[in-house]
Every structure is written in C-alpha cells, then in structure tokens.
Structure 1
Amino acid sequence: MPENQRADARRNYARILAVAEEEVASQGAAASLEQIARTAGVGSATVRRHFPTRRALLEAVSKERIEALRVRARDLTGRDDSRHALLEWLDEVVAYCVSVRGLAAALAYDADPVHDNACSAVLEEAAGPLLHRAAQDGAVAPDVTVADLIMLIVGITLATEHHPDPAAQAERLFRLAVAGLSPRS
C-alpha cells in the first residue's frame, strides 16, 4: 500500500485485507471477493482497485507467513547438515500450506508468465542458499530447483486439501517424494 494514498484509502485497504484474511482462512483461495467487499463495507470496485486479481489478494493475505518462511530459511542456512536444514524448511512450508487455506494457491504458478508470483519469488530467493548448499554437499541432485520443490509442495497441498487429515496426508506424501519409491535398503 503506497504511503502517499489518502487516509480513507489506507483504512479501506487495511479493512479489506483483515476481512480477506478471515475469508481465505475459512473458505480457501476461492473466497468470494463480493463477500469480502460486503463484510468490509466497501464496493467490489474498491476491492478490485486495491487487489486487481485474486492472486494479488492471496499474496497480500499470505505476506506475513511468507516473510516468516523467508526468515526461517535464513536462520537454517549454514547448518552443518545441509540436507536436514533444507528438509526442515520444506517441512515448515508444507505445514504452512496445509494450515493456511489459500497459501498453496498463492504459491502456484500461473499459466500467464507475464505476471510474477511474488510469494514464490520470495521463497525461491530465501531457499536458494539452502538448496545450493545441499546440492554442493551432494545431499540433493544438482538439477533440482527451488521452483521444483515449491511446485511439488503446492501439488501435494492441493491434492490433500479435502482429505480427512490433510496435514498427516501431506506430510506422508512429502516424505514419500523425498525418499522416492524405492524400498529402504
């Protein structure tokens, strides 16, 4: 939200964002923009002026959580066991995505490459050093990218969203993806 906006525009933005956080938490990424506008006491044009796309709204709602994951990646960088540090961070991303409805949708890549995905961009930048170190140590294949890992997590989260225990199922599938399909020797 630009600092030079009028006070009423800043208040509207804050009110819309607060209502959107509640709606996305209860309804997920498909939360009704019209319902958000009604609850916030503004018109849908006001919502669209502040958040021109659903993705922009989801990114704004997810901003704090994404920042916490960015800080956590920085804190884990440099640990002795680089694979464990990367997996610990990825576990936290999975847990966030499962517990915060709408976050996986905010991280998903759009078919429209013209528009950046701010949430994924922040996570890619934050996790880059973790992944680089794990690849240097031979703990991760050198061709794996953070974008690959985010897409994997998004897919798992969206696939388990309606499971009776989405957190447990997402964790199980993530562990399966990390371990691979081969039996343990």
Structure 2
Amino acid sequence: MRADARKNHDHLLAVAGAVISEQGADASLRDIARRAGVGLATLFRHFPTREALLAALLRAGFDELAENATRLEKSDSPEDALVSWLRDFVAYARTYRGVTQAMTSAIEDPESALHASCVTLRSAGARLLTRAQVEGTTRTDIDGDELFDLVAALAWLGDQPSHAPRADHLFDVVVSAIVRTAS
C-alpha cells in the first residue's frame, strides 16, 4: 500500500474507533466518513463492508490479546494468567460498544471477516483454561467455547447502561465460579 493510502487507511481506522466507541458497532458509516473528512466512496474503497471495517479495527487488539495469552502462559500461575487475560478481554471488548454481537456472530461464520481473529482469540483463552485445568485450579466442566461465550456475555453487560454498574461485580462472580480457590 502506498504511503498516502496507508495514512488514509490508518486515519479512517482511528476515526472509526472513536465513532464506534461513542455510538456502537452499528454507527453510521456516513458519519465515520464525514468525521474523517472523506467521502463515503473513499471509506468503502478501504473497507467495502461494515464487517471489514470492524475486522480491521479489532484485529490489532485481538492479536494483542492472543499474544498476551502466550506471554501469560509463560510467566504467571495458571489461574492468575487466566483471570488476567479474561479481564483484559472484557476491557477490550467494552472499548467498542456493540462489538460483542459482531464477535459472537463471526465466531460461527467462517466466511466472516472477523472469524479468523475471533477463532484465534478463543483458542488463546482455551489454552489458558486448559493449562489451569491441568493444574487443578479451575473447574473442568467448561471448555474454550463456553469460556468465549461467558466472556462475550460479560462484555455485553458492560455495554448495557442498566447493567453496567453491576458488570465488574458479575465478572468477579463468574470468575470465582470458574477458578477454584485454595482450601
């Protein structure tokens, strides 16, 4: 990609991130283009669909979360690594309102632009969960798919104005149900 095209691409992503944080994942693409100071056609040249825009916006964060899981596997206790990663995942998903719906849909749709990133993210969490299960520090009747669903649900709670005040408490409740405390 040419330098000027890369600059436009990055600018569009930055503006889209701000707009989606404010308005949610179904924010007006026309509003994103207007705020970026470009025409709608320019936005569509870079991102032909809303999903392509979301995928580009989320990919870097998802990749960072997956890399963080690998780092945590090597440095923290299994249960601390899992809890830390879950907290980071929920915090990141809450950055962009409404993204949990896109994530849960994409994980089931191999044709989705978000699918590969979501699968990588789910696999990273599953590795941390399995490591903690092998060490005997988490319950064994949950798998990576269910963990992904729980984390998406916790992130969704933070998106809901009436539930947001309880979201952190419910995160702690869910984590305490997964992680076994020492007796």
Question: TM-score w.r.t. structure 2 length?
Answer: 0.77
Query: Of the candidates 150, 155, 158, which is equivalent to residue 157 of structure 1?
Result: 155
Query: CA 1:100/1:114 → structure 2, altered by over 3 Å: closer, same or farther?
Result: closer
Query: Could you tell me whether the CA contact under 8 Å between 2:125 and 2:147 is conserved in 1?
Result: no
- Contact 2:63–2:117, Cα closer than 8 Å, also in 1: no
- Which of these residues, 110, 135, 142, is aligned with residue 133 of structure 2? 135
What amino acid does structure 2 have at the position aligned with 1:157?
A: A
Q: Does the Cα contact within 8 Å between 1:12 and 1:42 map onto a contact in 2? A: no
Q: Is 1:108 matched with 2:141?
A: no
CA RMSD after TM alignment: 2.9
Find the residue that maps to 2:105 and give its secondary structure: coil
Aligned partner of 1:170 in structure 2 is 167
**Which amino acid is 1:170 matched to?**
A
Counterpart code for 1:177: V
Could you say which structure has the higher helix fraction? Answer: 2
Aligned equivalent of 2:51: 55
Structure 2 distance, partners of 1:41, 1:83, is 46
* Ranges in structure 1 where 5+ consecutive residues have no aligned partner: none
Name the SS for the 1:29 alignment partner.
coil
CA distance in 1, matches of 2:175, 2:142: 12
**How far apart are the structure 2 equivalents of 1:53 and 1:144?**
35
Cross-structure match for 1:145: 143
- String of CA shifts for 1:58-89, please: whole Å, max 9, x gaps: 22222332233223212210456312221121
The equivalent residue for 2:84 is 88
Q: 1:68 aligns with which of 60, 64, 68?
A: 64
Deviations 1:116-171 (A, max 9, x none): 523312312333431221121233344533332222122222233133672x5222
Number of equivalences: 177
* Map 1:15-34 → 2, pairs under 5 A: 15-34=11-30
Distance in 1 between residues matched to 2:4 and 2:74, nearest whole Å: 45
Q: Aligned residues: percent identity?
A: 38
